Structure 1
Amino acid sequence: MGTTVSGRRARLLVPGILCLLASVPALAAETQQLALPQVIESSLHNNGDLKAFREEKGIRDAGKTRAGLLPNPTLDLEGGTGTLTGSSAENNLAIGISQEFLLAGKRDKRLTVAERELEAYRWQLADRERTLAEEVKTAFYDAMLAEQRLKLTDRSIELNRQLLEVTKDRLAAGDIPELEMNLAKVELTRSEGTRIEVERALLQTRAKLFTFMGLPSGEAPAITGNLDNGFSLNKSMVDLKQLALGKRPDLKALEAEKSRGDAEIVLAQSEAIPNLTAGLAFRREATAIEVSSAEHKDTDYLIGVKLSMPIPLFDRNQAGIQEARAKRSSTESRLTAATRNVERDVETTYISVQNAEKVLSLYKSNIIPQLEENLKLTQEAYRLGEVGILSVIQEQKKFFEVSDGYLTALHARQLALVKLESAVATDINGGAQ
C-alpha cells in the first residue's frame, strides 16, 4: 500500500516540478519556435562542413565520367622534300590516324571501380549525417538542460525573496535578530550570481547549437523541447546489434570500399594485357629518275595499315596488382575492426541507457515525492518560529541541489539514448536516421 501511494505521489509531483521549472515569460508571437526535428533538419541542410562534403560528389561523378571515356585518336602528318639534298623534284606527304583500343574489358572494369567509389561516397555522406545528427541532439539537450537550470535559479531567486520578506516582517515584530535578515540577503545575492553563470552557460550551448545549424550570427530562434519525453527502451541488446550491423553507414561504406578493392584487383589484372593501337595512313611520294640526261618524274599513292602492341615482357603490371591487393586487404581489416567496434558501442550505450534509467527511477520513486513537501513544511515552521533561518536555508539548498541532480539525471538519460540511436543508426521509435 505504501509503495502504491509513493508511486502515485511521484506521478503527481514529478510533472508538477517539471511544469514549475518550465514556467518562464512567454516569447513574442513572431519568434520562431524550433523543436528537435526541425533543428536536425536545418542542421543537415545548412551545416557548412556537410554542405562542403556534399559538393565532393562532383569529384566522384567526374571520376566515373573519366572512366567511361575512350582514348583520343592520334593524327599523324609527315612531309619530306629533297630540295636540301639536291633532289628538288622529290618529295613526299603522309597523313594518318591511329586509335588505341582497350582490351580485356578495361573500360567496363574502370566504370565498375568508379561506381564502387561513388557508392562508398554515398555511405560516407550518410555516416557524416549520422554523426552530425548525434552532435546536434547532444547540443540540443545541453541547451535544454541549461534552460531548465536557468528556470531553477529563477525559482531559487523567488524563494529567497520570499524568505527575505518573511525575515523583514519577523524583524519588525521583534522575533528575530537583524543577522537573520542579513543572511537572507546574502542568499538572495548568491542565487542572483548563480543565475548569471547559468545564463552564460545557456548562451554558450545555444551558440554551439546554432553553429551546427549553420545560422547567421544575427539569427537566434527559440528552441522548444523537454528533457523528459517518457521514452522506454523495449528492444533487446541482440536486436539492437542486428540493427546496427545492418544499418550503420560507416560499415556500409567499408563494405563498398571492399567491393571497390575487388574491382580494382580485377582491373589491375586486366592492365597486364597491353592495349592494341591500329592506324590508317595515306602517303603520296614523288620521285625523279635521270635517264640519258632526261629526268623522269613519278608519283605513287600508298595506303597503309599499322598495328602496334607493347610486348609484356618486363612489366605485366605486377606492382599495380600488388597495390590493389594490399588496399583490399587493408579495407577488409578495417571492416572487421569496425564491426567489432560497432557491437561494442551498442553494448556500452545500451548499458548506459539502463543505468541512466535506474538513477532516474530513484529520483522519481524515493527522492522527488518528499522534496517539495519538506521545503514547504520547513518554510512554514520558520514562519511560525519553530525553526531557525539556517534550517530554511539548508532545506532550500537541498531542494535545489536535488532538483539540479534530477535535471542532470534526465539529461544523462537523453544523452545515453542519443548515443544508442547513433550507435544503432536507427531511430529507436521507428525509421532509420
Structure 2
Amino acid sequence: MNAQARLLSLAVICLQLFSESRAENSEGLATAREGKLESLGVNLCLPHSLIAAGVPTRPAPSLPMPEGPSSGKNSPKGQTVQPVSPPATEMPIIEKEKQDSGSNKPAAKATIEYNESAPTAQGVPPLGIVQALNEALINSPRAAAIRAQFAIARSKYAQATQTPNPSFFMDRGLLAEQVMRIGPQFTYEPPWKLIFRLLATKRLVAQTKTDLLTTLWQLRADTRRAYMEVIVAQETMKTLEQLYDLSSKLLAVTDKRFQAGDVPELDMLRARLANSQTQVELAVGRVRVIRARQQLNIIMGRPVHQPVNVPGLPDYTGSVPSFERITQLNEAMPNFEHLVPPLRDYIAIGLANRLELKSLDQQIKLNQINLKGAYGNSIPNPKVALGKSTEGNPPVGPKLTAVFFTVDAESAFTNLNQGNIALFKATAKQLKYQVGSQKNLVIGQISSAYQRLLAARERLRVYQERVLADSYEVARLARRSYEVGQSGITTTLQAQQYNVQIRSQYLDAVMTYTQAFTDLEQACGKPLQ
C-alpha cells in the first residue's frame, strides 16, 4: 500500500509538472523541472512505468475514478461508463493559442462566421422545379431573344410579296425617224409564282418555329440543371455543417480527455486538424450555394441577389419517420410508389413529339413547295410596254400620233430551271433517309437515357432505404465509442470521413438521376413532369 501511494503521488507530481510545461516555455523552468524529477528519483519515462504497474495516470486522485476498460487489468469487462474529468486548472490549449495569437479562430463549438453577403430564404415561398422551368421560359432574357427570332422569320412574308417594279420607256428619234415613244414598261409575273412563294414562306416559318422551340427546349434542360445544382449545393453544405458539428463535439471530447490525461496530445491535434479542415470545406460549400442560387436567378431572369428558397431533399438518416418522408418528397426526386412505364411507351412519345422529327417534316413540305415553284419558274416573265407614239412622217408629213404596244418575252429554250428542279428532287430523297436516321437516333437516345434512369433510380432507392441511415449510425456510434474510451480517434475520424463520403456519393447519385431524367425528357420531346 505504501509503495502504491508513493507511486500515485509521484504520478501526480509528474503530471502537474507536465501541465506546467505546457503553460511555460522558459528554458530555465524546464531545467528546474528536470532537476526536481531527478531529486525525487523519477526519470522522464515515469508514466510508462506507472502504466505497467497498473496505476491510474489521471491527474485527479482525490476524485473517484470510474471503472471501465481503461481503468486497469482487474476492471470488469463490458461495463460502459462515462469518464469523469476533474475541473480544469488551466486554460485549454485551443483557447490558449487563441489568446496568444490574438486571432479570431473559433472554439470547438463556435459557429462559423461568413462575411459573404448571401440571399436568405427566410419568408420566401418555396420554388418548385415546375415553377422554375415556367418562369425561365417566360421571364428569361435568353428566352426573349429566342422568341424574337420568330419575327425575323415572319418578315419573309413581306419579301415573298415583292414583284418587279415597272420601268419608264422612252424612244426618241429627232432627225431620221422623227419618232417619239414614251410610256411605262411592266414585267408580268404569272400569279402561280406568287402563290408558290407564299406557300414556301409559310412552310419556312413553321420550320423556323420548330427550330426555335428546340432551342427553348434546351433552355429548359439548362434550367433544370441549375435548379438541381442548387439542391445538391444545399445538401452538401448541410452535410458539411453536420460534419463540422460532429468534429466540434469530437474535439471537445478529445480536449476533455486530454486534460484528464486519458489520451495523448496527438489525438487532440488530429481532432483539431479534422475540425479545421471541415471549417474550410464548409466555407467553400457556402460559396457554392451562393453561386448556384445566383446562377438560378440569372437563368430565370431574376435579380442576382434576390432570395430564393429551393426545397431540400428528405432526411433518410433515421431522424424522420418514413410516413413523414412521403410528404417531404422533392419534385425533382423519384417517387418509388409509382412504377416507371416501359421503354416502348417512351419511344412512342419520342417518335410523336420529338421536335427534330417535326422539323424534318416541315423541311419535306418546304422542299415539295420549292419543287413546284421551280417548275413554275421555268416559264419566263414577259415584259410589256405601252404608251404614246408620235411620228413626223418625213419628208412631207403629216405628223401622226397614236398608241403603241410592245411585248418582250424570253423564250424557254436552253434555261428551263432544270438545275433547281434536280436539286429539290435530290433533297427530297435525302430528307426521306434523314427521317429514318433521326428516328433511329431518337430511339437510341431514349433507350440510353431510360436505362441510366432505371440504374440511378435503383441506386437512390438503396441509399435512401438503408445506406444513409447505416452510415449515419456508424458515425454516431463511433463517436460515442470514442467518448467512453472504447475506440481510438483514428477509427472515429475514419467513420466520420466514410459517412461524408457516403453522403457525397448519394448526392452524386442525385445528380446522375437528374441528368438521366433530363436526357430522357429531352429525347422524348415532351415534359415528363
Matched, 1:404 2:495: no
CA distance in 2 between counterparts of 1:239 and 1:32 reads 36
Q: Please give the per-residue CA displacement for 1:321-363, whole angstroms capped at 9, x wherever unaligned.
A: 1222233334333332211111111101110110011111221
Q: How does 1:310-329 map to 2 (within 5 A)?
A: 310-329=410-429
Tell me which residue corresponds to 1:22: none
CA distance in 1 between counterparts of 2:171 and 2:307 reads 73
Deviation at 1:143, TM superposition (A): 2.5
Q: 2:203 aligns with which of 116, 126, 138?
A: 116
Deviation at 1:120, TM superposition (A): 0.1
Conserved in 1, the CA contact under 8 Å of 2:124 and 2:308?
A: yes
CA distance in 1 between counterparts of 2:294 and 2:426 reads 45
CA distance in 1 between counterparts of 2:145 and 2:464 reads 46
110-119 or 166-175, larger mean C-alpha shift: 166-175
Conserved in 2, the CA contact under 8 Å of 1:78 and 1:94?
A: yes
Deviation at 1:185, TM superposition (A): 0.1
Cα distance 1:71–1:416, how it changes in 2: closer, same or farther (>3 A)? same
Tell me which residue corresponds to 2:359: 253
373-382 or 347-356, larger mean C-alpha shift: 373-382
234-243 or 207-216, larger mean C-alpha shift: 207-216
Cα distance 1:373–1:29, how it changes in 2: closer, same or farther (>3 A)? closer
Q: 1:282 aligns with which of 352, 368, 388?
A: 388
SS in 2 for 1:105: helix
Q: 1:271 aligns with which of 377, 385, 389?
A: 377
Amino acid aligned to 2:162: L
Deviation at 1:76, TM superposition (A): 1.5
Amino acid aligned to 1:385: G
Q: Please give the per-residue CA displacement for 1:13-35, whole angstroms capped at 9, x wherever unaligned.
A: xxxxxxxxxxxx99365768644
Amino acid aligned to 1:140: Y
SS in 2 for 1:349: helix
241-250 or 276-285, larger mean C-alpha shift: 276-285
30-39 or 384-393, larger mean C-alpha shift: 30-39
Conserved in 1, the CA contact under 8 Å of 2:136 and 2:300?
A: yes
Higher RCO, Cα 8 Å, sep 6+: 1
Deviation at 1:214, TM superposition (A): 4.8
Cα distance 1:383–1:359, how it changes in 2: closer, same or farther (>3 A)? same
Amino acid aligned to 1:95: I
SS in 2 for 1:278: strand
Conserved in 1, the CA contact under 8 Å of 2:391 and 2:400?
A: yes
RMSD of aligned C-alpha atoms? Answer: 2.6
Deviation at 1:238, TM superposition (A): 0.7
Cα distance 1:288–1:101, how it changes in 2: closer, same or farther (>3 A)? closer
SS in 1 for 2:392: strand
Amino acid aligned to 2:308: A
Tell me which residue corresponds to 1:366: 466
Matched, 1:60 2:146: no
Tell me which residue corresponds to 1:10: none
User: Could you tell me the TM-score, scaled by structure 2's length?
Assistant: 0.68
Tell me which residue corresponds to 2:344: 238
Q: How does 1:39-118 map to 2 (within 5 A)?
A: 39-82=132-175, 91-103=178-190, 105-118=192-205
CA distance in 2 between counterparts of 1:155 and 1:113 reads 64
Q: Please give the per-residue CA displacement for 1:60-103, whole angstroms capped at 9, x wherever unaligned.
A: 22222221333322332333322xx7xxxx84332222332323
CA distance in 1 between counterparts of 2:228 and 2:496 reads 26
What is the count of residue pairs matched by the alignment? 392
CA distance in 1 between counterparts of 2:392 and 2:339 reads 93
Matched, 1:380 2:466: no
Conserved in 1, the CA contact under 8 Å of 2:120 and 2:307?
A: no
CA distance in 2 between counterparts of 1:51 and 1:333 reads 34
Tell me which residue corresponds to 2:214: 127
Gap regions ≥5 residues in structure 1: 1-24, 291-296
CA distance in 2 between counterparts of 1:322 and 1:47 reads 44
Tell me which residue corresponds to 1:181: 268
User: Could you tell me the TM-score, scaled by structure 1's length?
Assistant: 0.82
Amino acid aligned to 2:130: P
280-289 or 250-259, larger mean C-alpha shift: 280-289
Cα distance 1:39–1:352, how it changes in 2: closer, same or farther (>3 A)? same
Amino acid aligned to 2:358: K
CA distance in 1 between counterparts of 2:263 and 2:213 reads 67
179-188 or 364-373, larger mean C-alpha shift: 364-373
Q: Please give the per-residue CA displacement for 1:172-200, whole angstroms capped at 9, x wherever unaligned.
A: 22222222111110110111122234344
Cα distance 1:26–1:324, how it changes in 2: closer, same or farther (>3 A)? closer
Tell me which residue corresponds to 2:18: none
CA distance in 1 between counterparts of 2:141 and 2:425 reads 36
149-158 or 190-199, larger mean C-alpha shift: 190-199
Deviation at 1:204, TM superposition (A): 4.7
Cα distance 1:28–1:253, how it changes in 2: closer, same or farther (>3 A)? closer
SS in 2 for 1:154: helix
Cα distance 1:28–1:141, how it changes in 2: closer, same or farther (>3 A)? closer
SS in 2 for 1:99: strand
Tell me which residue corresponds to 1:14: none
Cα distance 1:77–1:255, how it changes in 2: closer, same or farther (>3 A)? same
State which structure, 1 or 2, has the greater radius of gyration over its C-alpha atoms. 2
Gap regions ≥5 residues in structure 2: 1-117, 314-329
Deviation at 1:282, TM superposition (A): 1.7
CA distance in 2 between counterparts of 1:224 and 1:40 reads 13
Conserved in 2, the CA contact under 8 Å of 1:147 and 1:202?
A: yes
Conserved in 2, the CA contact under 8 Å of 1:104 and 1:273?
A: no
CA distance in 2 between counterparts of 1:52 and 1:358 reads 40
> Hey, which of these two has a bigger chunk of helix by percent?
1
